[in-house]
Amino acid sequence: MAKLKVGILISGRGSNMAALIEAARSPGYPGEIACVVSNKADAAGLAIAAAAGIPTVTVSHRAYPDRESFDRDVSAALEKHGVEFVVLAGFLRIFSNWFPQHWAGRMINIHPSLLPSFKGLHVQQQALDAGVRLSGCTVHFVIPDLDAGPIIAQAAVPVLEGDDEAALTARILRQEHRLYPEVVRWFGEGRVSESGGKVAVRGLAPGATLLFSGEA
Ligand code: GRF
C-alpha cells in the first residue's frame, strides 16, 4: 500500500516532528514525511529534518501582507512536495480561514492539554493554576477556530504535588511523542473518520484512543 505523504509545519524546536520522523523510519510505518515547512528560518527543527534527509522549506510570514497570501504559499510548498496530509507540530501562526478549509479533514494538531480545557498559550500553567489532577495532550482535526476541532485521541498524565510548569510540560511532552506518531499511523492506515464532530477510529481495541501514563 502507498504510504501517506505527510507534511509537517513547525515554528521551533521540533521534538514532535522528530518523533514523527523517527516513527516513519520503521519499514512498516504507513506514512512518509514528504517535507517540513517552517515560518521561521531559525527554527531548530529545520536542522533536525535536514539531517534526516527530509526536504525543508521556510516561508517567512513577515514577507506577506496578509494571512491568506502566506497560507496559500505554505499550501503551494506542501503540494509541490506531494503532501496529502498536514501535521502541525508547534506551528505558531494563526491561519486565515482559507487554510483549514482547504485542508479540511486532512490536517491535525497536537495541543498540550486535555481539550476543551485550557486553550491558547501557557496551557500547562493554566492547568496548574486551575488545580486539576489530570492533564495531558490532545490530537484534533484543525478547523478555523483555535484549539477546537473534533478530538481524535488524548493522552492523560497526573498533575503531581510540587509540579511547576517545566515539570508538567516535560511529562506531557513525553506522551505527545508517543501519541502523535500513533495517530498519524491510524491516518496512514485509513482508519479515521469523522461525522458530526465525532471521530471514529476503526479496528482499534476499545479505549485505544486514550493513552494513560501514571508516570511521575
Ligand atoms: C508542543 O507542546 C505541542 O503540543 C504544542 O507546541 C509544542 C511543540 O513542541 N502545539 P515541539 O516543537 O514539537 O518540541
181 lines ligand 1 (CB under 6 A): no
Determine whether 111 is an active site residue: yes
Same domain, 96 and 113: no
Choose one of 51, 69, 103: the last residue of a domain. 103
Q: pLDDT at position 216, please?
A: 63
Same domain, 138 and 211: yes
To test ligand 1's pocket by mutation, which of 173, 175, 179 has the most ligand atoms within 8 angstroms of CB? 173
140 lines ligand 1 (CB under 6 A): no
Choose one of 43, 70, 103: the last residue of a domain. 103
Same domain, 84 and 133: no
Q: What is the CATH number of the domain that holds 208?
A: 3.40.50.170
| CB neighbour burial string for 118-139, b if at least 16 within 10 angstroms, e if fewer | beeeebbebbbeeebeebbbbb
Same domain, 3 and 44: yes
Which residue, by CA, sits nearest to atom 2 of ligand 1?
112
Report, as ranges of residue numbers, the positions in the chain whose pLDDT lies below 50: none
Select which of 111, 122, 140, 177 is catalytic.
111
Q: pLDDT at position 214, please?
A: 77
Choose one of 38, 68, 103: the last residue of a domain. 103
Q: pLDDT at position 215, please?
A: 76
69 CA to middle of ligand 1, Å? 25
Which residue range forms the structural domain that includes residue 93? 1-103
Q: pLDDT at position 165, please?
A: 98
Rounded CA gap, 79 and 14, in Å?
21
192 CA to middle of ligand 1, Å? 23
Amino acid symbol at 187: F
Same domain, 150 and 168: yes
Same domain, 76 and 164: no
Q: Please write the tens of the pLDDT for every residue from 4-47.
A: 999 999 999 999 999 999 999 999 999 999 999 999 999 999 99
112 lines ligand 1 (CB under 6 A): yes
20 lines ligand 1 (CB under 6 A): no
197 CA to middle of ligand 1, Å? 24
Q: pLDDT at position 132, please?
A: 98
Domain count, the chain: 2
Same domain, 86 and 121: no
Same domain, 56 and 82: yes
144 lines ligand 1 (CB under 6 A): no
Same domain, 78 and 131: no
Same domain, 55 and 145: no
Same domain, 116 and 190: yes
Same domain, 68 and 120: no
89 CA to middle of ligand 1, Å? 6
Q: pLDDT at position 213, please?
A: 87
Q: What is the DSSP string of 28-75?
A: T-SEEEEEEEES-TT-HHHHHHHHTT--EEE--GGG-SSHHHHHHHHH
Q: Which set of grid coordinates corresponds to residue 156?
A: 492523560
12 lines ligand 1 (CB under 6 A): yes
Q: pLDDT at position 175, please?
A: 97
